[in-house]
Structure 1
Amino acid sequence: MSELFTTFVPKFQSMLIGREEEIYQLEEAYSSSESEFVAIYGRRRIGKTYLVRETLKGRFTFFHAGVSKFPAKGQLKAFYNSLVSQGYTPSQIPKNWLEAFQCLSTYIQSKKEKRKVIFLDELPWMDTPKSDFLPAFEHFWNGWASARKDILLIVCGSATSWIIKNIIHNHGGLHNRLSRSIRLKQFTLSECERYAASLHMKMTRPQIIEAYMIFGGVPYYWSKLDHRFSLAQNIDRMFFADNAVFKSEFDDLYASLFKRPEPYLKIISALGKKKVGMTIEEVSETTHLPRNGTLTKYMTDLEACGFIRLYSSYGNRVKGAVYQLIDNYTLFYYRFLSSKRITDEGYWSKIQTSPAYANWCGLSFERICLLHIRQIKKALGIGGILSNEFSWRTPPYADLPGVEIDLLIERADKVFNLCEMKFTKNPFTIDKKYSANLQNKVARLKDVTKTKNAIFLTMITASGLTSNEYAGDVQNTLTADDLFD
């Protein structure tokens, strides 16, 4: 990167974990000689507002956040109050958004700063029914701000689908008007480890992984950990106690992201029951949602929020594309909270040795691996080799069982890494039966796809691999520590 990156980032390292690229983008927009329009999007609790506030602290000319569930009149009054509180000379409350943005223009013109930073948070909440907010906002940018050289306009909001539809993919007055769009993703395991340390949590890497199975890389969830308690005690306190802080989090999460969360929840519920994922046709059949552009939009919105991933099936890259639920918190919710009335406030501490817990750990560890493919490639020494990732599955044939491969890495050097992911507290042992299963996967992949690539069996385990007569069949062995790189 340019010197700009090395100049800007150290200033904020003590306040922000990770986010180096996002900080760079914001600082570059701030230093631009032109007016810039930046949209930041991502799921609720991911840290959008925190990123902007910490990066541009002390440099805002105007900041306002929309108010949840306020009507147009209330939104306008709140906007006006923000103007007055930040130095605007009081006049009268604007009657509509055209007047409101005219007030903002007048206020900005009175400021002497070289760069005028305008941050509008929770923008979707300001767009109430019949308020004509969007046309007025378009007019503000197109008719005034974009013609200047000194404006940095930043918008974001929890309702990701609104941001994507009305700002990023706008086909009206804001079409192609964005200077930059920043999708804020979840923390990696390494970033969560650093964040936990900043919270004074004494956690081993296995505990970091377990917490990631529940929280994913959502900073807000991690921020609620209390260093006085063990991880299990924290989970009981946060999810299973009478006054648990995340008692209603699931409903709040999807309601904040989508104005009509019902179809999204149908999709999430269906995907939550399918480990390997579903094609869009299977999603439509299961949820009874019509297979049309609307369903595709729902899937795109969920993918943009990081709840699901879309990946191709090897040999059928378009038609066989599969959607898979990848959000760890949602998986945790469906497994332990959605249909259970748990009254035991120490529930999580007591199920650590149960089959249900072990089964969930196995599934969640696979999802963690799929969220850390870059780290897997680096550990395999193929970070610099062009590659693509696929799933692959084939039904039973004759007396041969069906095969499911969650991660198949196709490399430009004519090699497949057939990845198997296993979570055990002790080193994983490949026995005779499991060895036969692995060899069947290799044989079926060769037979069905007719590939001429070499196939490297690759084990990714939480605690290593036991050395025995079958371990030699595996070409690559990675451990959970490799996911932290």
Structure 2
Amino acid sequence: MFIGRQQELAALEKLYTSNKFEFAVVYGRRRVGKTALLTHFIKEKKAIYFMGVESNAKQNLVNLSKNILEYSTNLPTEGIFESFQTALDYTFQLAKTERIILVIDEYPYVARSTKSLASTLQLLIDKYKEESKLMLILCGSSMSYMEDHVLAYKAPLYGRRTAQIKVLPFDFATTFKYFTHFTNEEKAIIYGITGGTPQYLLQINDSLSIEDNIKNTFLNPSSALYEEPENLLKQEVREPALYNAIITAIATGSSRMADIASKVGEDTSICTSYLKNLITLGLVKKEVPYGEKNSRKSVYSLADNMFLFWYRFIPKYASIIARGAADLAYKRIEPFISDHMGKIFEEICTQYLWHLLLTGKSHVDFVDLGRWWGTDPTTRSQTEIDIMGEQDNDTALFGECKWTNEAVDLGVLETLLHRSKLFHYHHTTLYLFAKTGFTNGCKERAKELGNVVLVTFGDIVKEIEQE
């Protein structure tokens, strides 16, 4: 079942219908669905699809030749081009008379085995771009390679591409629509433990309970997800052990550089370099308080829900899981799932606010959203705001998110009201998000204030279902 990716497909279709030479770079983390996107896009179109393999130049040339010759009716399919340049030159010429798509998937594998490939493509693009109707798509999972050797200013192909598409995991709204048998709350929990990575979602069976799904995937040594984070790191980095230690430190509560470095036993200078790579991979994000640029207040968090869940729980109970005691491991994890969902619910609420803005339903025309933390001068204590967004120097929104089974009470609203007054805005809108609902006292106070929007998880679901 193919879902989502409307924006990416629309971008590719626009390039395709131009009927002139186009060169798109499609990149994103492994398992995120790039190949599925491209396979869906080229369906029923004239296309040559070539998947690079982690082998030598000869093997990749043989495979590319076979794909090109299978498409062409003019050459025998058992032939092989003498070089990548002759193979690609032939394809460019073939596209002089008709629209053809050439997809080179896992481009880094091919480029690493053939050092001159980028320069060859540069030469051929410059030679044929005015007369060929080829739509060239280079796709890759190695984020660092694609950014450094394809997209970067110093790369041979810089300035030749006509588009680039970074494929990201699904948001909650798309993940929500992927499953039909889960309850709404179960869909949120699944998003909280797998994120929106399509390959991870495929491991989930919505005919089973959350408990059984967790046991079958995360607590089963033979499952595809059991060693997935560590395997992915081994494919992407040279020293996975230290990366593992850094991710574990963040997943278990360390967010500031000094704390992370202390936890893993390395200098901050070393950790800084490793964290930069994890940010590039899309696994870690660096934040500063909303509206500030002070790097001394920077904190790090895991950007991928599955990694957050896995590193928080699986290594801790690895010995139990290895002995086949999935029931015991789940019993120890289950009490903390609601706590894990706290940050996930903030993410879902943030996505909801962006949806309101993009559909013209937002009370505040904010330009960005983020978290804020700092010192409350009235209490001289540290405080934080889950969501904050500024429209201008006079108008902003503030949000608080509560994933609890109890109705959110008046105290939560009064706290958010107080924190909003730590800033200089004259016009504010307070968004209070609740998993279940609000107490009568909270509703009455919200009505009295007039600038409060009360949103339940059910309201978010209704908005998704109306899309």
The equivalent position to 2:395 in structure 1, one of 415, 424, 444, is 415
**1:103 pairs with 2:79:** no
Shift, 1:194, TM fit = 1.9
**1:220 pairs with 2:199:** yes
Whether the 8 Å CA contact 1:44–1:256 is kept in 2: the answer is no
Match of 1:441, as an amino acid?
Answer: R
Matched residue, 1:64: 50
Match of 1:251, as an amino acid?
Answer: E
Shift in alpha-carbon separation, 1:216–1:405, aligned structure 2, 3 A: same
Whether the 8 Å CA contact 1:189–1:209 is kept in 2: the answer is yes
Matched residue, 2:325: 344
Shift, 1:64, TM fit = 0.8
Hey, what's the Cα distance between the residues in 1 that align with 2:333 and 2:299? 32
Shift in alpha-carbon separation, 1:393–1:331, aligned structure 2, 3 A: same
Shift in alpha-carbon separation, 1:30–1:203, aligned structure 2, 3 A: same
Matched residue, 2:217: 238
Hey, what's the Cα distance between the residues in 1 that align with 2:101 and 2:341? 45
Matched residue, 1:180: 163
Whether the 8 Å CA contact 1:120–1:155 is kept in 2: the answer is yes
Hey, what's the Cα distance between the residues in 2 that align with 1:121 and 1:205? 36
Matched residue, 1:122: 106
> How big is each residue's C-alpha offset from its partner over 1:418-472, in whole Å with a ceiling of 9 and x where there is no partner?
21111113433345xx5675455345x24xxxx1434444211221222226872
Shift, 1:30, TM fit = 1.0
Shift, 1:136, TM fit = 3.0
Hey, what's the Cα distance between the residues in 1 that align with 2:15 and 2:210? 40
Shift in alpha-carbon separation, 1:266–1:71, aligned structure 2, 3 A: farther
Gap runs ≥5 in structure 1: 1-14
Hey, what's the Cα distance between the residues in 2 that align with 1:380 and 1:140? 45
Shift, 1:329, TM fit = 0.8
Shift in alpha-carbon separation, 1:208–1:145, aligned structure 2, 3 A: farther
Whether the 8 Å CA contact 1:145–1:151 is kept in 2: the answer is no
Matched residue, 1:331: 308
> How big is each residue's C-alpha offset from its partner over 1:325-377, in whole Å with a ceiling of 9 and x where there is no partner?
221111111111133212423357645752x2232222332233344441365
Matches within 5 A, 1:273-312: 273-274=252-253, 278=256, 288=267, 290=269, 298=277, 301-302=280-281, 305=282, 307-312=283-288
Whether the 8 Å CA contact 1:240–1:347 is kept in 2: the answer is no
Matched residue, 2:67: 82
Matches within 5 A, 1:189-204: 189-197=172-180, 202-204=181-183
Matched residue, 1:361: 341
Matched residue, 1:10: none
Shift, 1:107, TM fit = 4.8
Shift, 1:16, TM fit = 3.3
Matched residue, 1:5: none
Whether the 8 Å CA contact 1:61–1:108 is kept in 2: the answer is no
> How big is each residue's C-alpha offset from its partner over 1:280-318, in whole Å with a ceiling of 9 and x where there is no partner?
x9878876353899678536513xx3x344555245236
Hey, what's the Cα distance between the residues in 2 that align with 1:284 and 1:82? 49
1:118 aligned counterpart, secondary structure: strand
Structure 1 ranges of 4+ moved more than 6 A: 281-286
Whether the 8 Å CA contact 2:313–2:333 is kept in 1: the answer is no
Hey, what's the Cα distance between the residues in 2 that align with 1:410 and 1:422? 22
Gap runs ≥5 in structure 2: none
Matched residue, 1:4: none
Shift in alpha-carbon separation, 1:353–1:107, aligned structure 2, 3 A: closer
Hey, what's the Cα distance between the residues in 2 that align with 1:321 and 1:188? 25
- State TM-score, norm by structure 2: 0.82
Shift, 1:145, TM fit = 4.3
Aligned length: 448
Whether the 8 Å CA contact 2:95–2:133 is kept in 1: the answer is no
Whether the 8 Å CA contact 1:33–1:149 is kept in 2: the answer is no
**1:139 pairs with 2:117:** no
Shift in alpha-carbon separation, 1:43–1:482, aligned structure 2, 3 A: farther
Whether the 8 Å CA contact 1:236–1:345 is kept in 2: the answer is yes
Match of 1:464, as an amino acid?
Answer: G
> How big is each residue's C-alpha offset from its partner over 1:163-218, in whole Å with a ceiling of 9 and x where there is no partner?
12221224232122110111222222222222213xxxx11110110000011111
Hey, what's the Cα distance between the residues in 2 that align with 1:44 and 1:468? 48
Shift in alpha-carbon separation, 1:467–1:121, aligned structure 2, 3 A: same
Shift in alpha-carbon separation, 1:79–1:170, aligned structure 2, 3 A: farther
Hey, what's the Cα distance between the residues in 2 that align with 1:471 and 1:348? 44
Hey, what's the Cα distance between the residues in 2 that align with 1:61 and 1:381? 41
Match of 1:79, as an amino acid?
Answer: L
Matched residue, 1:20: 6
Match of 1:43, as an amino acid?
Answer: R
2:154 aligned counterpart, secondary structure: coil
Matched residue, 1:31: 17
Hey, what's the Cα distance between the residues in 2 that align with 1:100 and 1:193? 44
Match of 1:462, as an amino acid?
Answer: K
2:312 aligned counterpart, secondary structure: helix
> How big is each residue's C-alpha offset from its partner over 1:45-100, in whole Å with a ceiling of 9 and x where there is no partner?
111111111122132432111113x2334333433443455455444564xxxx22
Shift, 1:482, TM fit = 3.9
Give % identity: 22
Whether the 8 Å CA contact 2:397–2:430 is kept in 1: the answer is yes
Match of 1:334, as an amino acid?
Answer: Y
Hey, what's the Cα distance between the residues in 1 that align with 2:94 and 2:416? 70
> How big is each residue's C-alpha offset from its partner over 1:101-133, in whole Å with a ceiling of 9 and x where there is no partner?
312322553578610110000111113267433
1:290 aligned counterpart, secondary structure: helix
- State TM-score, norm by structure 1: 0.80
Q: Over aligned residue pairs, what C-alpha RMSD do you find?
A: 3.5
